[in-house]
Amino acid sequence: MNEFSSLISILATTEPNKNPVIERRLICSALSKPFTILTGGSGTGKTAIASRLADTLKLKNATNSAERESFSVGDVIHGERAKYTVSGITSELFTLKNLDGTLLQLPLGVVQEWLDAWDSGRINGTNKVRQNRDEVKKSTKFDSNSHSWESHLTAIAKSGKGFSRGSEKGQSHAIVPVGADWTDNRQVLGFVNHLRTTTIGEGESASEHPVYQTTPVLDLLLEATRPGNEAFPFFLILDEMNLSHVERYFADFLSVMEQKDGELALHSEGPRDDENFRLPRYANDPIGVPRTLPYPQNLFVIGTVNVDETTYMFSPKVLDRANVIEFEVKSGQISDFLSAPHEYPEPPKAADGVAEAFLALAKKARLDPDKGGLDALTGSAAEDATKHLVALFEILKRGRFEFAYRTANEVMRYLRVCRYLAAEESDEARDAWDKGGWIDDLDAQIVQKILPKLHGSMGRVGHLLGALAVYCGGATDDAAFAYFPGGKEGDNPAMTGLPLNEALKPVAEGAHQFTKSRRKLTSMIQVLLEEQFVSFIN
């Protein structure tokens, strides 16, 4: 068992569905493309498995000296009159989410001063919060205004939790709930707040500048690009990412993640002759926000998706850039869970070197084989996979849903990753993959990269779904084109197009069986026959 098989096993034991196939597809998807979308019904474990992958590969930190249990994203802190949720933790900022959904960002150093004051007995829960504030301010290293949120800071200190010490590394992942009001990128990349200012420099060189209103996403990006963190993976988990139009708030990411040296434009403040100028996020910010930020090559984005009357559909531009993995809960899994209900267990940390190896392999996989990437596929696996991709392209082109170079390239990249992992496991596993194991992985790519863009009415996608269903069931491409009026070229009047319900019958001919794709297409056809409209994500 190699280090990645061990990682799959870890995720399978911490995920309620206990489905190693899903875990393997998630890992292979992340390795081949750093943008994955998880879709399925509410409560199927999408966010749970994403956060567990991030937790398993997180940066190691020493325990804190005050023997406080470490804060984690999602922790609830109870104040005197309200409760707050920990929304993000970096090496510089501690972010709380209020009941009304607003975010409060506190300098981590300020929070640590309050924790130290509580542990030393200088402040306590019987004092008024202003008394606690005045006590902490006596020895603070920060601007006095940094302690203005005394109610929140008292609740944090009283919680009994703290931060890891002995390392300067911050959190390597963030779970960010997407809001329905995200109509631009300010909720993602922040903005220059001219209503708040702070002083940069000392003495005669001191000058007033606006503060950069940061976000948990930007804090994670800054952490990922810090010197010393380049070799470790960082995970951005966007929860319910289609509560707003993804293209509106995520357009910058969609563009730069496809570029080799992409940069995110953040602001244009500061003197023109100072190329290294950075706006502070708060008083005494040791990092600051540069004018442009190189897109981190160690960042993996995972979005979770639900579909109901409050959400928006994805455009082909988004789906074309992601692997889409659908979560399903089967009746047997529900009965097993109800017989022994349990909470999600805490995932163990991956062995030393796995996180670094994960990122190194992902970077290598992004390169073409002739430029230092993984070995190109050879032999019958390469020939047959190419043949199927070409056939699928022709069928989709006939139905006006054809894919292009990016999709074809990323499908083959995924297959190269899968073969590499099989070869790392054993020679026998590699040989089995070459002799036919690749079919399951190509099947996964059909259902993750090609089918998600399909949606429409009976007239728009009916013939296409029938053709794809029989082809994925094992029929020839000629048999598939029989579902289109006029056949392959549309010019044969003798071919009127087979009725769609014919595609639901078992296919007798053919050697290949793309079972996952066939099952999904069958489900879509059944919905289309009943409702006259269907989409992949429904």
- Average pLDDT on 21-44 reads 89
Of residues 114 and 167, more confidence is placed in 114
Model pLDDT for residues 296-338, shown as the tens digit of each residue: 999 999 999 987 777 888 888 899 999 999 988 777 777 777 7
Q: In this structure, is the dihedral angle defined by the CA atoms of residues 461, 464, 305 and 41, taken in order, positive or negative?
A: positive
Provide the number of structural domains found in the chain.
3
**Domain hosting residue 43, numbered range:** 3-59+172-339
Statement to judge: residues 402 and 503 lie in one domain: yes
Model pLDDT for residues 129-172, shown as the tens digit of each residue: 999 999 988 888 777 777 888 999 999 998 888 765 433 345 78
**In a domain? residue 350:** no
Residue located via tokens 């631009």: 184
Model pLDDT for residues 217-241, shown as the tens digit of each residue: 999 999 899 877 888 999 999 999 9
For 534, the 3-state DSSP assignment is strand
The residue type at 15: E
Statement to judge: residues 334 and 299 lie in one domain: yes
Count each helix (H run) and each strand (E run) in the chain, helices first. Answer: 19, 19
The first and second tokens of residue 203, run together, are 């003495």
What CATH number has the domain bearing residue 335?
3.40.50.300
Best CA proximity match to 525, nearest among 474, 475, 451? 451
Statement to judge: residues 209 and 189 lie in one domain: yes
Statement to judge: residues 109 and 192 lie in one domain: no
Model pLDDT for residues 414-473, shown as the tens digit of each residue: 999 999 999 988 999 999 999 999 999 999 999 999 999 999 999 999 999 999 999 999
Whether the pLDDT of residue 520 is over 60: the answer is yes
Statement to judge: residues 244 and 392 lie in one domain: no
Residue located via tokens 């296919």: 507
Mean pLDDT for all residues in the chain = 86
**In a domain? residue 348:** no
Model pLDDT, residue 11: 54
Model pLDDT, residue 165: 43
Statement to judge: residues 391 and 506 lie in one domain: yes
How sure is the predictor about 509, in pLDDT bands with cuts at 50, 70 and 90?
Answer: low
Say if residue 323 is exposed, middle or buried (CB neighbours under 10 Å; 0-12, 13-18, 19+): buried
Best CA proximity match to 345, nearest among 8, 16, 106, 1? 16
Statement to judge: residues 197 and 51 lie in one domain: yes
Of residues 5 and 333, more confidence is placed in 333
Statement to judge: residues 100 and 134 lie in one domain: yes
**In a domain? residue 153:** yes
Statement to judge: residues 330 and 386 lie in one domain: no
Statement to judge: residues 219 and 291 lie in one domain: yes
**In a domain? residue 525:** yes
Statement to judge: residues 467 and 522 lie in one domain: yes
**In a domain? residue 361:** no
The residue type at 242: N
**CA gyration radius for the chain?**
26
Q: How many CB atoms lie within 10 A of CB 512?
A: 18
**In a domain? residue 178:** yes
pTM of the predicted structure, to 2 decimals: 0.78
Statement to judge: residues 277 and 420 lie in one domain: no
Pick from 324, 339, 354: which residue ends a domain? 339
